[in-house]
Amino acid sequence: MSGALSLREVSKTYDRVRAVDRISLDVVAGEFVTLLGPSGSGKTTTLQMITGFVDPDEGQIILDGRELTALASHRRNIGMVFQNYALFPHMNVEQNIAFPLEARGIDRAERRRRIGRALDLVGLGGFERRLPRQLSGGQQQRVALARAIVFQPPLLLMDEPLGALDKKLRDRLQLEIMELSRTLGVTVIYVTHDQEEALAMSNRIAVFHRGRIEQVGPPAELYERPASVFVAGFVGDSNMFTGTLDAEVLRSGPWQLRVDRAKTACLGHATAATIVVRPERLRVEPASVGDEAGLAGIVRQAIYLGATMKYVIELSDGRRVNARMHAGSQSSSIGVGDAVGVSWDIADGIVLPGEPEQTSLAGEPDGSP
């Protein structure tokens, strides 16, 4: 199987700003890898260097043992799906999909066969004669997908392909794209800033931050064992307690929070550190249980989400944390305005060096993975 991609120490500088800073990434053939990061983190520039729209200043990009950087983009044989679909408005669906086949000099009969197959794969059989403007956004993106796979490229790149679609359609197309990529066995590099999408679709996720890859790993690993405060804040919801590490506790505001010293051995004394706790790992108990209940707080919001309840709790020092529990458990006894104690198992408190940046999404009480 082909489609193995390797980025080695790839860099790109724009006007003295390192848009991409010595990135290395190995993608196995057939793998679905998402480049996740906020805008300006370098993920799109990385994608454009793979397609050949942008030349790297340094480094190598290797696809199936072949160095790509010297190849013009039209010789790279890589499929690409754009956020705004980029369908040719003067061509109908069939002509759009025929375009890459014509460029490769494939004869009429074979073109016909392949176009039919590609349209069936994306569920748009019978739309051959429509013009792009006669199609809905979702249909246009399906045509773009068909056009990008019809010439059987070993590698398929997708640049926020679902960004312009509404939530429901996005969810459906996510599943379709995953199935399609598995059916075809094509390697997919998928760019998004939507962490839910990344978690849902990928074999592995590469989290981009300021032109570097902060962490690469399967979705569960990023969620359970984030390597940095940035990753913890960007992937999934989290509560963060920032302070100074001291022996077995983290001094954070009025509290001394116990930490698992075995896991923080590499962190020195008196260094700035952050404890990250996922909302579903927080225990919320009525304050009457006693002093052992943990950090004191007052429930400010209780939101019913069907399977789960979400609580926003204001701690005694004024900061807010999110907690999530199965609806119908003991939580039902907790309501807005109640005094509660918030705690967690030491093992669920992820200790990371450094502090969250103001710009990250850390602690934002919205979004639900």
Partner 1 sequence: MSPARLHPLLLGYAIFLAFVLVAPTLIVALMSFSAGVLLRFPPQGFSWRWYGYFLGADTWTRSIETSAEVGAATAAISAVVGTLMALGLVRGRYRWPQLLNGLVVGPMLVPPVVIAIGLYFMFVRLHLVGTYSGMIAAHTALALPYVVVVVSSSLRNFDRTLERAANSLGAGPVRTFFKVTLPLILPSVGAGALFAFITSWDELIVAYFLSTPAVRTLPVVMWGAAQDTTDPTLAAVATFLSVITVAFLLIARLLGYRTRAA
Phi, psi of 358 (to 5 degrees): -60, -30
Q: How many residues bind partner 1 (CB under 8 A)?
A: 26
Least distance in angstroms from the C-beta of 179 to partner 1: 23
117 interacts with partner 1 by CB under 8 A: no
> For residue 89, which of 134, 123, 28 has the smallest C-alpha distance?
134
Among 2, 11, 77, 203, binds partner 1 (CB under 8 A): 77
Tell me if 84 contacts partner 1 by CB under 8 A.
Answer: yes
In the complex, what is the shortest distance from the CB of residue 62 to partner 1, in angstroms, rounded to a whole number?
Answer: 18
Among 2, 60, 69, 73, binds partner 1 (CB under 8 A): 73
- Is 74 a binding residue for partner 1 by CB under 8 A? The answer is yes
Out of 43, 147, 193, 310, the only residue in the binding site for partner 1 (CB under 8 A) is: 147
- Cβ of residue 124: shortest distance to partner 1, in angstroms? 18
Using the contact rule CB under 8 A, the part of the chain among 60-68, 147-155, 244-252, 301-309 near partner 1 is 147-155
Q: Is 35 in the site for partner 1 (CB under 8 A)?
A: no
What tokens appear for 14 in the block? 């724009």
Residue 148 binds to partner 1 (criterion: CB under 8 A): yes
Contact mark string toward partner 1, 37..66, x via CB under 8 A: --------------xxx-------------
Tell whether residue 14 is a contact of partner 1 (CB under 8 A). no
15 near partner 1, rule: CB under 8 A: no
Q: How far is the CB of 198 from partner 1 (least distance, A)?
A: 23
- At 42, list the tokens: 């370098």
* Alpha carbons 167 and 341: distance in angstroms, whole number: 36
79 binds partner 1 (CB under 8 A): yes
**Sign of the C-alpha dihedral computed for residues 191, 151, 2 and 74 taken in this order:** negative
Minimum CB distance to partner 1 smaller for 159 or for 285: 159
Rounded to a whole number of angstroms, the minimum distance from the CB of residue 165 to partner 1 is 17
Q: Which is nearer to partner 1, 25 or 80 (CB)?
A: 80
Q: Which of 15, 16, 65, 72 touches partner 1 (CB under 8 A)?
A: 72
Q: Which stretch binds partner 1 (CB under 8 A): 82-90, 162-170, 174-182, 272-280?
A: 82-90
Residue 131 in contact with partner 1, rule: CB under 8 A? no
- Cβ-in-10-Å burial (0-12, 13-18, 19+) of 2 comes to middle
Stretch that binds partner 1, among 74-82, 177-185, 264-272, 323-331 (CB under 8 A): 74-82
Under the binding rule (CB under 8 A), the answer on residue 2 touching partner 1 is: no
Choices 31-39, 145-153, 230-238, 292-300; region in contact with partner 1 by CB under 8 A:
145-153
CA-atom Rg of the chain in angstroms: 24
The binding site for partner 1 (CB under 8 A) comprises 51-53, 72-80, 82, 84, 86-90, 99-100, 103-104, 147-148, 151
